[in-house]
Amino acid sequence: MSYVDTLRQWDQAVTCVDRQDLTEALRIFLAIQEPNSKIYFDIGCLHLLNQDLDAAEKAFDCSIGKDEHLAVAFFQRGTTFYRKKRYEESLADFQQAFKALRSNQLIDYKALGLRYKLYACEVLLNMALCEAQLGNWDKAHDNLVKALNYKTDAKLNIIDRALDSALKQKLFKPVEFPSKVLFKPNKHYVAELEKKDYLGKAKVVASVVPQDAFSGFAPLQPQVEDGPTRPKEPEVLRALEGEPHTVLFKFVPETSDELAVVPGNIVFVLQKGADNWASVIFNERRGLVPSNYLERLEMSLASKQNEGQGISQPPSGEPPTRPERKSGLTPSEQPTDNLCIVKVRFTFNFAVSVPPGSPYSVLMEKISNKLNLPSTAITLSLTSELTEQSVITPSTDMETVWRRARGLRITLWCYAKGQTAGNPQSEVPLVALHSYESPNPEDLNFHQGDTITLLSRVNQDWLEGQCNGNTGIFPASFVEEVPVSGQSLI
């Protein structure tokens, strides 16, 4: 079977899945003679939906055999083993998936045709669940504490709930892959499956030859002398495809479909997709680069239509220096010798340092001094939700609190009187002047006109805020404060 036929059947199968016709989709998939690792993965997901665990296991075996670095395939086979109650094999596959993440918070498979992000904290949660099923509660607890170092705000609650259950030696729910989300073939390749005759058949409209019925193509004839002139386009520009763009930020590829570029490179954009990825040519190589890393290059022959129209343009040039983070902490939060760093989530984030195993009074004194509030007005919690089990009081056994520390670091939540979980005391509203999209998991993405809640100032150029239920950092130059009290924080 040719690659074109494989591509066509693959596209037909995922189209059937989109129509909820899973039986026909599986039939088409199984008819493909030489499936690649992605197609085998899709077949395994459909078998999982049909509860055919043996067939799913074989399909994921083939997927991993084709690509031993496909972390999401290890994750799915681990899920299959877990459903079959083969917990040791399930644990081994989740460990392989975590290893393939290479200490990253996540892998985004969008560029490979799969709209899914595999989070390291979720893989660690499933590893902890397998250990719990095997009766290794200490190892389960260690894996969940390790997951806290990899978690993102979007995955905060699920890790906290699992950790609370593990402390009580109760099982919790595994994280499962949405099986109807499949690898899809490259849409650009699919669009080229059907050949198109763009030229068609030439037709004579006017000719100096009487009764000229010629219908083919003839060589160009000499042009009339002294004809109208037009600006001569540089040969190098006429030889290149696409629109020229300047690279604003350094981009390091994570997949074979992506292209490495650095600030100042000139790339030629062939197509921009709605998914924030642009197909470009650079040094005779084609690949994908995030659209927001590029800026249209105005050359001498380019149009100047937008000049003088007062159109607000996003900030360009060198981006503001990102706040430095080591091991996920700002420099002020780095552990010092014989001290434990307590990262406190309040209406803003801050850190205090105390000796490991400090009593409640020492910890509370540090935090109350930092907030300039009496300790009686402050409530500490092990999780973002205030529950009877999570609240830290003078009668709390602090050994259970410090056992949650990992590498002399621990995160606590702090609430003042009159403040409830998830509702900070002071929230400054901002409005987005320009859209901001970034592949960095710690960044906050938003669109022009969105309302953003300011949580804290990271440094002169970066802010931390919330928008559409997400929390992250973003450049201060992309927003302005909504006038409320006449004061400005930006």
Per-residue model confidence (pLDDT) at position 87: 94
Tokens of 156: 């905060």
Q: In terms of domains, do 394 and 436 share one? A: no
Boundary (domain end) residue, out of 167, 186, 215: 167
| Cα 156–chain centre separation | 16
Boundary (domain end) residue, out of 416, 439, 467: 416
Q: In terms of domains, do 13 and 117 share one? A: yes
Q: In terms of domains, do 42 and 153 share one? A: yes
Give the domain CATH number at 127. Answer: 1.25.40.10
Q: In terms of domains, do 30 and 122 share one? A: yes
Domain assignment of residue 206, yes or no: no
Asked if 431 and 417 touch (Cβ cutoff 8 Å), the reply is: no
Give the domain CATH number at 387. Answer: 3.10.20.90
Boundary (domain end) residue, out of 416, 446, 461: 416
Q: In terms of domains, do 14 and 136 share one? A: yes
Domain assignment of residue 146, yes or no: yes
Q: In terms of domains, do 71 and 115 share one? A: yes
Per-residue model confidence (pLDDT) at position 319: 53
Burial of 446 (0-12, 13-18, 19+ CB in 10 A): buried
| Total domains, the chain | 4
DSSP conformational letter for 145: H
Domain assignment of residue 308, yes or no: no
Q: In terms of domains, do 54 and 147 share one? A: yes
Whole-model pTM? 0.44
Tokens of 483: 């006038």
Q: How far is CA 318 from CA 258, 259, 264, in A?
A: 22, 20, 10
Q: Report CA torsion sign: 402, 405, 408, 413.
A: negative
Cα(243)–Cα(151) distance, integer angstroms: 39
Q: In terms of domains, do 17 and 148 share one? A: yes
- Ranges of the chain whose pLDDT falls below 50: 198, 209, 214, 218-239, 300-311, 317, 325-335, 422-426, 485-490
Q: In terms of domains, do 100 and 139 share one? A: yes
Domain assignment of residue 377, yes or no: yes
Domain assignment of residue 277, yes or no: yes
Nearest CA-CA partner of 383 in 145, 160, 166, 170: 160
Tokens of 98: 């975590």
Q: In terms of domains, do 94 and 30 share one? A: yes
Main-chain dihedrals φ then ψ at residue 71, nearest 5 degrees: -60, -40
Scanning 214-321, the segments in alpha helix (DSSP H) are 235-238
346 lies in which domain range? 331-416
Instruction: Encode burial over 118-131: b for 16+ CB neighbours within 10 A, e otherwise.
Output: bbbbbbbbbbbbbb
Per-residue model confidence (pLDDT) at position 304: 41
Domain assignment of residue 53, yes or no: yes
Give the domain CATH number at 460. Answer: 2.30.30.40
Listed as own residue / partner, the contacts of 24-27 with beta carbons closer than 8 Å and 24 or more positions apart are 26/50
Asked if 452 and 467 touch (Cβ cutoff 8 Å), the reply is: yes
Per-residue model confidence (pLDDT) at position 133: 93
Domain assignment of residue 302, yes or no: no
Q: In terms of domains, do 76 and 132 share one? A: yes
Domain assignment of residue 211, yes or no: no
Q: In terms of domains, do 12 and 73 share one? A: yes
Asked if 32 and 6 touch (Cβ cutoff 8 Å), the reply is: yes
